[in-house]
Amino acid sequence: MDASDADDEAAVALAAAVLADVAAFVSDVFAAAADAAAAVLAVSADAALADASPAFVVAVPALLSADAADEAACVADASAA
């Protein structure tokens, strides 16, 4: 083994170490981005719930019930015809 081989092995070891550091950095960046996205979604969901007025929250089930009753009446009419 001569000096050139030792230099080559050292260069390969250094490149492997740099690659491992870059991979760890990229992994940290992606994890931080995922955490930030989750935080934005959580804040958005909280804001949407806070913006929903009590009248809307009460009206939606009533509208769904009325729609279900209307649908049932249409089905009954279609069955009778």
**Full DSSP string of 11-63:** HHHHHHHHHHHHHHHHHHHHHHHHHHHHHHHHHHHHHHHHHS-HHHHHHHHHH
- In the structure encoding, which two tokens stand for residue 4, read together? 């050139």
Tell me the C-alpha distance between 7 and 15, whole Å: 12
Confidence of residue 19 (pLDDT cuts 50, 70, 90): very high
Cα dist. 47→35, 66, 70, 81 in Å? 18, 28, 33, 48
- Name the percent of the chain lying above pLDDT 70: 78
pLDDT above 70 for 57: no
Q: What is the pLDDT of residue 53?
A: 65
